[in-house]
Chain A
Amino acid sequence: MTEPRPRYLLNFADETALKSALDRLPSDKLEIVDAFLPFGDEEIAERIGAGRNRLNLVTLVGGLCGAGFIFALQAYSFLVAYPFDSGGRPSLSWPAFLIPTFEIGVLAAVLAAAIAMFRANGLPRYHHPLFEVPRFERTTQDELALLVRSLDGSYPGGRDALLSFGATSVSEVWE
């Protein structure tokens, strides 16, 4: 463990303020750890390089696994477990099997997407240092925030200097 270094939460009143701060923050001194928004914004995420994911692939794989499993189960049921004659249908009546296959495929894909998303986001996470910061609660309502970390111990000028980037408030965040 390295020694604790303060991190700062910079709250912004709106998107514009946050984006201009992103332009101006000195990247040699400050590392942008994360941004917090009350709504999703692809551009900000891209700029701070957050949230890249392989959800598409996970969903596809999940869906195919689910569909494959249920199709195999149906085929096994009718061909091996108890073959019977239902109104003259063939044992491997695949057109009929497609419906549960589709349904379970969708279910598995959706669950895969949801679970993968929560896992990748590290949720659930009920206790988090950011929740200590009073101003943080605004980020789920009407403010945006950047979490920055000084690259060398402490940022020169501390909170006041950070305010100059257009933040409405700056809070220190301790691990």
Chain B
Amino acid sequence: MPQIFSPKADGLARLTIWGVAIAVVVALGVTFLLMRSPYATAVGLVRDQPVPFSHKHHVGGLGLDCRYCHASVETSAFAGVPETEVCMTCHSQLWTDADVLEPVRESWATGAPIRWQRVNSLPDYAYFDHSVHVAKGVPCEACHGRVDQMPLTRKAEPLTMSFCVDCHRDPAKRLRPKSAVFAMGWSTKKSRAELGHYLMKANGIQTETLTDCSTCHR
């Protein structure tokens, strides 16, 4: 009886078995990493905006407070995106001829709103409330990153469920005194752990209910 398989077949068989095994492990690993990578979470995402608004210039350079434009951040779930009127408060005086500001002037003139492209987006079934986070000392920077260093707004954090839950379990490491909530790049000389512990107490934050599903989903 002649051999059905050539001597190479054994090598091939071993290669297949190990290959499949390794491929499965690698595929799982790659998927695991990919789901946490910017590819899936869109960290670093920048969108074309009608006006190339620079937080770097306005916040980092001019030192505008976040609340000047995002006015409802302390009172509403929605932080608020400035009305054309807010832009025009300054830009009716400054850079009145700048080409990049043409859409703003046009909006002001015609009454047609500026259509911004959302960068930080949560699914509709996740309910996030800016006001309560701000009130409890969660800084803007925790989710939005160093916007004072962003010439164009980009997504700074993955904003996945684990990202949220991570902080809801242990907010202490991110909490700041209320005066520093809107600050960028703030740091403290005190012990971070001690400060966090103190703020948790002072703000009456109980983590127990923070990981309840109904906290964010309803």
Contact = CB atoms under 8 A, between A and B. Distances in A.
Q: Do chains A and B touch in the complex (CB under 8 A)?
A: yes
Contact of A132 (B3, B6, B13, B14): B3
A170 B6 CA distance: 25
A93 B156 CA distance: 39
A133 interface: yes
B186 interface: no
Contact of B9 (A82, A126, A137): A126
B99 interface: no
A103 B22 CA distance: 25
A131 B3 contact: yes
B192 to A, nearest CB: 23
Contacts of A84: 211, 213
Most chain B CB within a 10 A radius of its CB, from A82, A124, A125, A126: A126
Contacts of A127: 3, 5-10
Contacts of A125: 10
A134 B1 contact: yes
A131 B6 CA distance: 11
Contacts, number: 33
Interface in A122-175: 124-128, 131-134, 136-137
A132 B1 contact: yes
**Which one of B1, B6, B14, B165 has the highest number of Cβ atoms from chain A below 10 Å of its Cβ?**
B1
B10 A126 contact: yes
Nearest to B5: A126
Given A132-B3, A133-B1, A124 B13 contact: yes
Contact of A137 (B1, B13, B211): B1
Contact of B1 (A124, A126, A136): A136
Contact of A131 (B4, B13, B213): B4
Contacts of B2: 131-132
Interface in A79-128: 82, 84, 124-128
Contacts of A131: 1-4
Nearest to B2: A132
A60 B19 CA distance: 27
A124 B4 contact: no
A82 B17 CA distance: 36
Contacts of B10: 124-127
B147 to A, nearest CB: 31
A126 B211 contact: no
A131 to B, nearest CB: 5
Interface of B: 1-10, 13-14, 17, 165, 211, 213
Given A124-B13, A132-B2, 4 more contacts: A84-B213, A126-B4, A127-B7, A127-B10
16 contacts: A82-B165, A84-B213, A124-B10, A124-B13, A124-B14, A126-B4, A126-B5, A126-B13, A127-B7, A127-B8, A127-B9, A128-B3, A131-B2, A132-B3, A136-B1, A137-B1
